[in-house]
Amino acid sequence: LPETFLSFLEANGLDPSIYIPRYVRLKPGVGEIEYEINCKLEKVNWLPGFYSIPPDVQIARSMAYQQGKMYGIDAASGAAVSALGISPGDHVLDLCAAPGAKLCMMLDLLGEKGTATGVDVARHRLAACRTMLRKYGLGQRSRLFLADGTTFSVPPITFKEWTSRRPYKERKQEAKAKPEIIFYGQSSGVIGLKKKELGYDKVLVDAECTHDGSIKHIQKFEQWGWTTLERRVLDAERTDRNLTALQLNLLRNGFRLLKQGGTLVYSTCSLTLAQNEDVVDQFLDENSSAELQEIETAKDWPCTSGRTPKTVRFDPSTSATSGLFVAKIRKL
């Protein structure tokens, strides 16, 4: 790693000597697949459906992967989804959805009831998300929107209800202000809700961040160039001003779209205080209807408490996962 990044870690009190294995999640109902990938899967005891695999094993060419029996997702990211407490019948929003592994897990947890809406600002990443949904047979109860997560405002209503009940000219004008629909499953809307009942039961805001907790992400800069790392991760002005403002606005909008009594999870794979506790603390200070919740399942996780009570952190040096901060918030 370059000296500038090592200095960044040191300035934030982070240990650079960490090792992170790779994780996969098996689709519900999938049986024995070790022979298909030619390696032993180590069960993650604290997170159902997750397994670790050796970092040198190539799964992309295996039949199990090509047939959609498993997908790669870090165990810490799986914990953030698990913290939502998704139940069949919920209507779930993933406000920063691409490339789609967490959205796939949400849909696995929903089963045959409920819907999942994914939003992302990057077209090419959202296209990858659509490909994942199709590959794993999860498109029926999902929809994807190309939109800014800080301003996205489409509630979980039916596509028919949204587009077809007013004159064409009026609908055409309205469409210009609407986010672009990238994918819309046949059963991904909610029928029969009154306006006051509209809102998502669960919202995940896995916000854009510097990704300094993910060594896998940092290693990509070997191809992208270390000067790009300095601009995108180490630039203090971008991190302290622009990026944290974006994170706070994503959190605000996700909470606005949340139904009363619903649950929101805010997470980042940064290990810095500025992008995590500081953002959550500021949000809580300005929202009297937001209540930080204990993450009950975290008692079994290899995580530590965050600076803000009831928040948790996955530290790569002790959790054997990517770094991740998780906060669970209820709308009173």
Residues 72-123: tens digit of each pLDDT: 899 999 999 999 999 999 999 999 999 899 999 999 999 888 999 999 999 9
| Residue 206 known to bind ligand | yes
Q: Is the pLDDT of residue 18 over 70?
A: no
* Structure-model confidence comparison of residues 145 and 198, the more confident one: 145
Q: Which residues have a Cβ under 8 Å from the Cβ of 13 and sit 6 or more positions away?
A: none
| Domain residue extents for the chain | 1-20+75-331
Tell me what pLDDT residue 116 has.
Answer: 95
Q: Is the peptide bond before 16 cis (omega within 30 degrees of 0)?
A: no
Q: Distance between CA 329 and CA 294 in Å, rounded?
A: 9
Q: Is the pLDDT of residue 258 over 70?
A: yes
Confidence of residue 8 (pLDDT cuts 50, 70, 90): confident
SS3 53: strand
Tell me what pLDDT residue 189 has.
Answer: 59
Judge whether 238 and 287 are in contact, CB under 8 Å.
no
The residues carrying an active-site annotation are 269
CA distances from 269 to 43, 74, 140 (A): 23, 11, 30
| Residue 108 known to bind ligand | no
Tell me what pLDDT residue 28 has.
Answer: 84
- 3-state SS record for 129-183: HHHHHHHCCCCCCEEEEECCCCCCCCCCCCHHHHHCCCCHHHHHHHHHHCCEEEE
Does the predicted TM-score (pTM) go above 0.75? yes
Judge whether 91 and 190 are in contact, CB under 8 Å.
yes
What does CATH list as the number for 1-20+75-331?
3.40.50.150
Q: Distance between CA 269 and CA 271 in Å, rounded?
A: 7
Q: Is the pLDDT of residue 165 over 60?
A: no
Q: Distance between CA 204 and CA 96 in Å, rounded?
A: 8
| Residue 94 known to bind ligand | no
Q: Distance between CA 249 and CA 255 in Å, rounded?
A: 10
Give one DSSP letter per residue of 273-311, joined into a string. STTTHHHHHHHHHH-TTEEEE--GGGGGSS-EE-SSTT-
Residue 291: strand pairing partners = 330
- Tell me the two tokens of residue 318: 């002790």
Q: Distance between CA 188 and CA 184 in Å, rounded?
A: 7
